[in-house]
Amino acid sequence: MNEGHIFIQGIISPWQDKSAEEWGEVNIKQVTQQIQDNADAEKLIVHIHSPGGDVDEGFGIHDILVAHGKDKGIEIETRIEGLCASIATVIAMAGSKRLITENSEFMIHNPWMETVGDSDELQKSADELKVIEKKIIDFYAVKTGANKKDLDKWMKEEKYMSAKQAKELGFVTDIITTIKAVAKFKLKNTVMDNSELDKKIDNRFTDLLKKLGLAKGSRAQALTVTAGDGTVLDFGDQVESVEEIEVGMTATIEGGTPDGEYVMPDGKTFVFAAGTLTEIKEAEEEETEEMKQLKAENEDLKKQLSDLQEANEQAIADLKKEVVAVKAQVKSDISTFEKASVPQSGNGEEMKVPGKPITGI
């Protein structure tokens, strides 16, 4: 499925100036442009990290997202990644699926405004706020199924919710939990998105640097394996390849020793007890075409990394040769300089000149 991505990261504002985005402002115009940029998408994922902002702008963004989904017959999925507060929570309700990362926060409260004027003007503003409060309460009630009295109470107290609370109260439908997802690893359902692919490439590149002895604090030829949840298992110099790993070997992870089950990208499960590998479970399910393609891509990546390692080793060897040549040249230059700079006495003998000796390089 062709997915498109919309990013709502900043203050919700009606400010339409071209520099608004540079100041962290998000408006309908920007969101509309992002929708147009993803015109071919069969699904839109809306990433949200916002403290809220203007009420009308927020409802407007919600409406154009919902309308676009209906007009094009596509799914709108919202993902809260950080903070979703105030009017940003209304935008989050645009998704038929509403996801939240496990460490994110969700907050609802009563709207407020700044008003200057006499008592009549202040009363007018208070009446307007009451109308907006009712509008938001009614909106939440329809989207979540929550009781309006409860919603009124929560908004008055400025209720902050954890990811778990937000789901329990119906504001979101699912919690994104990386570790739990890996624990339920299924070959037939394996889908690698761009962020996961980038992470795997970064981890493999780090592994390569460690093997070359270029990573800070690394040991030359140390073998590390990255599990599906991002945990890096370090087998040290016991083996040189993943295929050589066997029961009885030991490993370490950052900050301690592995204990429990670690699912590998190829479906195998490494079982550790106090840092010792006690069992290797083979993948139980048959490979799908998608998994075969993923393995082929993985092999291609291995080859690229192998070529890069070979190139780096050659570059290091060439560099060492250059260093040796430079040292020899410097020694030669120093020797020539010393002979040419020794003062001569009137009878042609060398004069004794006090000073510090020049050390060799």
- The mean pLDDT of 335-356, rounded to a whole number, is 46
pLDDT of the residue at 181 = 42
pLDDT of the residue at 217 = 42
- Of 203, 185, 187, 175, nearest to 302 by C-alpha is 203
Largest CA distance in the chain: 112
pLDDT of the residue at 199 = 62
Q: Distance between CA atoms of 7 and 35, rounded to whole angstroms?
A: 10
Q: At residue 327, does pLDDT exceed 80?
A: no
Q: What is the phi/psi pair of residue 164, to 5°?
A: -65, -45
Share of the chain above pLDDT 90, in %: 44
Over the stretch 19-60, which tens digit does the pLDDT of each residue have?
Answer: 888 888 999 999 999 999 999 999 999 999 999 999 999 999
> What is the residue whose two structure tokens read 């599990």?
227
Q: At residue 68, does pLDDT exceed 90?
A: yes
pLDDT of the residue at 198 = 60
Domains recognised in the chain with CATH numbers:
3-176 (3.90.226.10), 185-361 (no CATH)
Q: Distance between CA atoms of 173 and 160, rounded to whole angstroms?
A: 17
- Of 243, 267, 132, 125, nearest to 186 by C-alpha is 267
Share of the chain above pLDDT 70, in %: 75
Q: Distance between CA atoms of 166 and 146, rounded to whole angstroms?
A: 12
Residue 65 · residue 34 · CB < 8 Å = no
- The mean pLDDT of 340-356, rounded to a whole number, is 44
Residue 255 · residue 263 · CB < 8 Å = no
- The mean pLDDT of 217-242, rounded to a whole number, is 74
Residue 49 · residue 7 · CB < 8 Å = no
Over the stretch 104-113, which tens digit does the pLDDT of each residue have?
Answer: 999 999 998 8
Q: Distance between CA atoms of 130 and 176, rounded to whole angstroms?
A: 35
Residue 159 CA to its chain's centroid (Å): 28
Q: At residue 357, does pLDDT exceed 50?
A: no
Q: What angle do CA 282, 285, 289 make, to 5 degrees?
A: 115
- Of 253, 215, 223, nearest to 240 by C-alpha is 223
Confidence of residue 356 (pLDDT cuts 50, 70, 90): very low
Over the stretch 124-180, which tens digit does the pLDDT of each residue have?
Answer: 989 999 999 999 999 999 999 999 999 999 999 999 999 999 999 999 999 998 654
pTM equals: 0.51
Q: Distance between CA atoms of 243 and 221, rounded to whole angstroms?
A: 15
Q: Distance between CA atoms of 265 and 241, rounded to whole angstroms?
A: 15
What are 189's two structure tokens? 């359902």
Over the stretch 273-322, which tens digit does the pLDDT of each residue have?
Answer: 988 989 998 876 656 676 777 778 778 877 887 787 788 778 777 777 77
- Of 54, 274, 302, nearest to 62 by C-alpha is 54
> What is the residue whose two structure tokens read 């560099």?
319
